[in-house]
Amino acid sequence: MLTTRRVDAYHALTVVAPGIAERFRPGHFVTVAVGGPDTSMPARRAFAVHDVKPDYGGTVELVFAVRGRGTAWLAERRARDTLDIVGPLGRPFPVPRDPVGCVLAGGEYGSASLFALADTLQQRGCRVDFVLGAASADRVFGALRARRMGETTTLTTEDGSLGLRGRVTDALPAVIADARADVIYACGPMAMLRGVTAVAAEFDIPVQVSVEEAMACGYGVCMTCVLPVIDDDGVTRMVRACVEGPVFRGERVRFEDVGTIPFDALGAPGGRAQEGGAHTRNVG
């Protein structure tokens, strides 16, 4: 059972799902079956949880953009339709024990997962500043709510139709400096996360990024959602965005190598491992 509404370029969809609402922590995502019982689309679609509310025993709200057939189908759901939804999934945003200054950076619908996080952070006494961006005004999600919640809120659009003309990363350094931020949280397109991580490195503060990789299962069995991440031991491994992520420490993600197998990753080809040598091991 659910309700739907349009929010600018996005669709917001609220589902009664007490089990998910109860266990939810900011940064979690869910997967949704699309197309109904006779669907030709066997893969679930992943969506960040935007909000959970206690109504009806617990509801979950998702915010999504129509991209292809699955989201087009979702956009046509009506009140009282039922939805097959699995969650909460993934590693949520780690939150600091102490009250620190946090900048929350969101791109496009990536902003959606930042408000529950902001809530939690503020409950712990953290200061929260928002930087939200998108290509155009109608695709900036949550500006009003950010203005209500954030100490400051900076908006950016690439076409200048709202806030500053430019990208999130253009506005970020000033916001960090002004807020004297201790940590950054970011959710949005991969290019933005890469940029945000670079800014964090300049300021030498930690950054938690929530990545988006195509996923077939969402709970760790299919191995389709991997990206190269540097482990505690300094070794790069192809790790699963769905269970080891989607939230990673930004500096651990090898953004420039996403979509490749870095030659120095554990088990990378080139080492004789992938050539099929029987008794070799690639220690990456």
Ligand X SMILES: Cc1cc2nc3c(=O)[nH]c(=O)nc-3n(C[C@H](O)[C@H](O)[C@H](O)COP(=O)(O)OP(=O)(O)OC[C@H]3O[C@@H](n4cnc5c(N)ncnc54)[C@H](O)[C@@H]3O)c2cc1C
- Site residues (CB under 8 A) for other proteins? 33, 40-44, 86, 213-217, 219-227, 237-238, 243, 258-261, 265-269, 271-282, 284
The binding track of 88-127 with respect to ligand X, each residue x by CB under 6 A or -, is: ---------------------x--x---------------
d(CA 187, CA 185): 7
Q: Which does 63 bind (CB under 5 to 8 A by kind): other proteins, a second copy, ligand X, none?
A: ligand X
- Which own/partner pairs from 74-79 qualify as long-range (CB within 8 Å, at least 24 positions apart)? 74/11, 74/13, 74/32, 74/34, 74/45, 75/4, 75/11, 77/2, 77/4, 77/13, 78/4, 79/1, 79/2, 79/3, 79/4
Q: Which of 69, 145, 252, 254 binds ligand X (CB under 6 A)?
A: 69
Choose the binding region for ligand FES from 116-124, 130-138, 212-220, 247-255 (rule: CB under 6 A). Answer: 212-220
Determine, following the binding rule CB under 6 A, whether residue 106 of this chain makes contact with ligand FES.
no
Smallest distance from the beta carbon of 84 to a second copy, in angstroms?
Answer: 14
Please count the other Cβ atoms lying within 10 Å of the Cβ belonging to residue 165.
Answer: 12
* Interface of this chain with ligand X, residues 217 to 276, rule: CB under 6 A: 246
Burial class (CB in 10 A: 0-12, 13-18, 19+), 33: middle
* Sign of torsion over alpha carbons 110, 116, 119, 120: negative
Q: Interface with a second copy by CB under 8 A: which residues? A: 34-41, 69, 73
Residues of this chain that bind ligand FES (CB under 6 A):
215-218, 220-225, 240, 242
